[in-house]
Amino acid sequence: MKSVIEAMGAFALCATLAGCNVRYDGEDSVTHQFGSDYFGAGGMLQLTDAVEGDAFLAGGRVSTAAEVKGDLVAVGGEVAIGGSVGDDLYVAGGDVKVDAIVTGNARVAGGDVALGPATVIAGALSLTGGRIEFDGDSHGYLQASGGQVRINGTVHGDAEVRTEDLSIGPDTRIGGKLIVHGPEEPALPAGAEVLGGIEFHEMDAGAYFRDGEAREHVRTVAHGVGSFLWIVGVFLVGMLFTLVFPGYSGRAADFIGREPLKSLGLGFVVLVCMPVLVVVLLVTIVGIPLALILMPLYLLLLLLGWVTAASFIGRKGLAVLRNAQPATTGVRVLAFLVAVLALWLVGRLPYVGHWVTFIALLVGIGALVWQAGQRREAATTPGVT
């Protein structure tokens, strides 16, 4: 996610220089409204205005204190969720705090996860983290997996916990059954209530990870979370790239269709030669500053190459389905999302999947570099605009 955040900051800077019609909520954040949906990214991002649709937020520090009537997806180093969410909540971060009212389900993952007493989840709640504290109110079931888990809130359904260290507070109220997977059965303090009783399954961390089925389950969950965050990140970056540089991004995507072999060859050259150039520059003392500039640009180019390939697929698909008829902004956004998902799914195919995604990356990089060169040539040629 670090490269995604760096990309967001780069987009914000470029948009400032170009005078694009993008709203800035701080020195290093950029936001945009797609109809009723809200997209935001940057180093520090604060959502204080109500959102009629869905909200997608990614940044170093992300906080919300307003009503989001649709889904809320937030990813960041530090994430603080307040206000209310009209549908589902998806949060991932290093340090996550939630004090919000959620009408749908909630999925929260992080290093440190804390749900405060003001939190109300109308649906089901899933928590994953190194350290988890739950003091809220879940009207559905609760699933929690972490190194340390502390429960001192209300769960109207069943609660299932997997942890090495479970602590139950005196204000705990569980309407269903408490299912515990851990090294020892938890003590129920005075005042705490578990109406369905406690079902204990002895498990130590070593035994859990030595078990083949459990180990495969962990890998599956980790892979699923990582894939979800990757898709969200690529989608957000693609949307912001298109917003900030609509002409450049569109020409690059169209160039893949016109010159696929040229895009492929140039992309391969850039992919291989640019790291070599960085190493050479690092060896020479005078080239170190330039190398430090090229390294993040190279990482950004890798991400944007994949985005450009997905954009080409989405635009091509729309042209075929609509017979080149104009499409609304919402339809174009949906086409890009479908293209991102399609590339991801193709990448999962055995034998050919990795080759297809690698070729997509190469043609995307080549198209971007070619268009950047053409734009620079046009800018330096007298009488050409």
Whether residues 189 and 258 fall in one domain = no
Domain assignment present for 80: yes
Whether residues 204 and 279 fall in one domain = no
Whether residues 298 and 258 fall in one domain = yes
Write the pLDDT tens digit of every residue in 207-256: 554 555 555 555 555 555 556 666 777 777 887 887 788 888 888 988 99
Q: Span 16-29, mean pLDDT?
A: 40
Write the pLDDT tens digit of every residue in 157-178: 999 999 989 999 999 999 999 9
- Of residues 103 and 344, more confidence is placed in 103
- 35, 66, 62, 60: which is closest to 48 by C-alpha? 66
In which domain, by residue range, is 286 found?
245-380
Whether residues 185 and 315 fall in one domain = no
Write the pLDDT tens digit of every residue in 28-75: 455 677 778 887 766 678 899 999 998 888 767 889 999 999 999 887
Domain assignment present for 195: yes
Sorted by sequence, the CB contacts under 8 Å of residue 314 that are 6+ apart come out as: 332, 335, 336, 338, 339
Q: Span 288-298, mean pLDDT?
A: 79
Kind plus residue range of the DSSP H or E element containing 274: helix 260-283
CA gap 94, 112 in Å, rounded: 6
At which of 194, 214, 234 does a domain end? 214
Confidence of residue 136 (pLDDT cuts 50, 70, 90): very high
